[in-house]
Amino acid sequence: MGVVSCWILHLVLVLQLQVLVVLSKNIISGTVPVGESLTASESQQFSSSWLSPSGDFTFGFRKIKPNNGFTLSIWFDNIPDKTIVWHAQTVNTTTSLVPDGSKVTLTADHGLVLTDPGGQQLWSSSLPQIRSSVSRGLITDGGNFRLLSEHSDVALWSSFANPTDTLLPTQSIEVRGNLSSRRKETSFQKGRFRLRLGDDGDLQLLTLNSETLAETDVYFSYYSSNTNDPHNPGNRLVFNETGYMYVVMRDNRTRFYVNKKDPVPSKDFYHRAVLHFDGVFSQYYHPKRQGLNNSNNGWSLAWSEPENICAKRFGPYLDGNELGNLACGFNNICILRDNHRPKCECPERFLLVDPNDEYGDCKPDFEMETCGPGNNRTETANQDANLYEFVTLRMTNWPSGDYKRYSNYDEGRCKATCLNDCFCGAVVLGRDRFCWKKKKFPLSYGIRDTNGDSNTFVKVLKLGSRS
């Protein structure tokens, strides 16, 4: 290679390096000029993002498996998990994911605009009506994406003011504001749980009708801060810089701490609070550098509400009605894991309605007995053991849906009274020898617990029988 060509190669390298430096400078300041855009791409996974100055947070497209679409998100970028803390809630209602080639552009008039490869708009930041245009975007080291106008540091829009399922330190929720859970861990459309600071100042966890997901179809609340004193109601939910979460009342002095535990130092740990797709609201911390906590380099649980979502059925915050379900669908049994998160298991002889949703409803694999003209059996009639038998669910209770109770029954009598009654779908027998008859399915609020003091006997059609 000649001296000249070597020199040219050197020049080219230097120029390329400069281009790289310019690009990363642009990104490292955290400022995004109007006109910049990012494209969701299978091939250039790492180029499609804007970083906060410290590199702690990144804004861009994330590929989501197994659905194989992208979500426009903000995530923790300095940890292996790359945990997502905000996502654009697009109009794509099937998955809320966007396809390869989708593009987000920072515009003066509409702020962030997300379009699909055909140019169709999928989402945009909703700016206030005032006539003020965006001059730049700013991604902060706290994980907030802010859109600023030329002459003001007041954001026209920010990801913190439009939260999805996560709160970060320094973020707050005003009266009427809420977080919404995802549909599933990998389905980014809104699910059926909300954390809301209500008009009356009360902070509540709510569950909605899981089918309509209409914001007006609120079934009940399963957590309440009780900060609805009309003389000094809750005014704002604060997640402060050091990781405390509290409701500040209208007098600006009184606080209700969602959890009283002191958080680990925010100098060394990241904090986040998330309303999970299963309805559990949890705060976590994560070491900022490896070696700070050798025993655990991932997210550790600080606290969660409720502590046992499987047991949330009765209690001061639930109204008496038995609408809906919580973490697990109808006929599905809730089992609490060590991390305060539930898993769900269909009873024997029941199958998931949607095989891909283990948190969904379970349906029987047999025809259930019905009371009708062709069936005259009541509890007084002769027992018909030829058609039906019982599946035993140990340590399992269904605390709702009773229609009859018998005291001092043993297992034999409890089963027999159900077998002889065409209304009866299952019986629960407690250690206290109370036998509870459950009316027709679906049952809700099933719970299995190693300390449980009840067994459930489900009346199922004998294999090989036809009713």
Ligand X SMILES: *[C@@H]1O[C@H](CO)[C@@H](O)[C@H](O)[C@H]1NC(C)=O
Binding stretches for ligand X (CB under 6 A): 69, 92, 94-95, 97-99, 116, 122, 178, 194, 196, 206, 215, 218, 240-242, 244, 251-252, 264, 293, 295-296, 300, 374, 376
Beta strands at 333-336 and 446-448: parallel, antiparallel or unpaired? parallel
Nearest distance from C-beta of residue 370 to ligand X, angstroms: 13
Nearer to ligand X, 181 or 444 (CB): 181
Nearest distance from C-beta of residue 297 to ligand X, angstroms: 9
Nearest to 245 by CA among 228, 261, 222: 261
Nearest distance from C-beta of residue 95 to ligand X, angstroms: 5
Nearest distance from C-beta of residue 14 to ligand X, angstroms: 41
Nearer to ligand X, 371 or 391 (CB): 371
Show the 3-state SS of the chain.
Answer: CCHHHHHHHHHHHHHHHHHHHHHHHHHHCCEEECCCEEECCCCCCCCCEEECCCCCEEEEEEEECCCCEEEEEEEECCCCCCCEEEECCCCCCCCCCECCCCEEEEECCCEEEEECCCCCEEEECCCCCCCCCEEEEEECCCCCEEEEECCCCCEEEECCCCCCCEECCCEEEECCCEEEEEEECCEEEEEEEEEEECCCCCEEEEEECCCCCCCCCEEEEEEECCCCCCCCCEEEEEECCCCCEEEEECCCCCEEECCCCCCCCCCCEEEEEEECCCCCEEEEEEECCCCCCCCCCCCEEEEEECCCHHHECECCCCCCCCCCCCCCCCCCEEEECCCCCEEEECCCCEEECCCCCCCCCEEECCCCCCCECCECCCCCCCCCCCCEEEEEECCEECCCCEEEEECCCCHHHHHHHHHCCCCCCEEEEECCCCEEEECCCCCCCEEECCCCCEEEEEEEECCCCCC
Nearest distance from C-beta of residue 122 to ligand X, angstroms: 6
Nearer to ligand X, 49 or 204 (CB): 204
Nearest distance from C-beta of residue 119 to ligand X, angstroms: 11
Nearer to ligand X, 69 or 401 (CB): 69
Nearer to ligand X, 95 or 396 (CB): 95
Nearer to ligand X, 105 or 392 (CB): 105
**The residue to which tokens 């975007």 are assigned:** 137
Nearest distance from C-beta of residue 403 to ligand X, angstroms: 22
Nearer to ligand X, 109 or 262 (CB): 262
Nearest distance from C-beta of residue 439 to ligand X, angstroms: 21
Nearer to ligand X, 71 or 456 (CB): 71
Nearer to ligand X, 52 or 95 (CB): 95
Q: Which helix (H) or strand (E) holds 426?
A: strand 426-430
The first and second tokens of residue 25, run together, are 């400078």
Burial class (CB in 10 A: 0-12, 13-18, 19+), 402: middle
The residue number with the shortest CB distance to ligand X is 69
Nearest distance from C-beta of residue 92 to ligand X, angstroms: 4
Nearest distance from C-beta of residue 293 to ligand X, angstroms: 4
Nearest distance from C-beta of residue 408 to ligand X, angstroms: 32
Nearer to ligand X, 102 or 331 (CB): 102
Nearer to ligand X, 187 or 456 (CB): 187
Beta strands at 121-124 and 111-115: parallel, antiparallel or unpaired? antiparallel
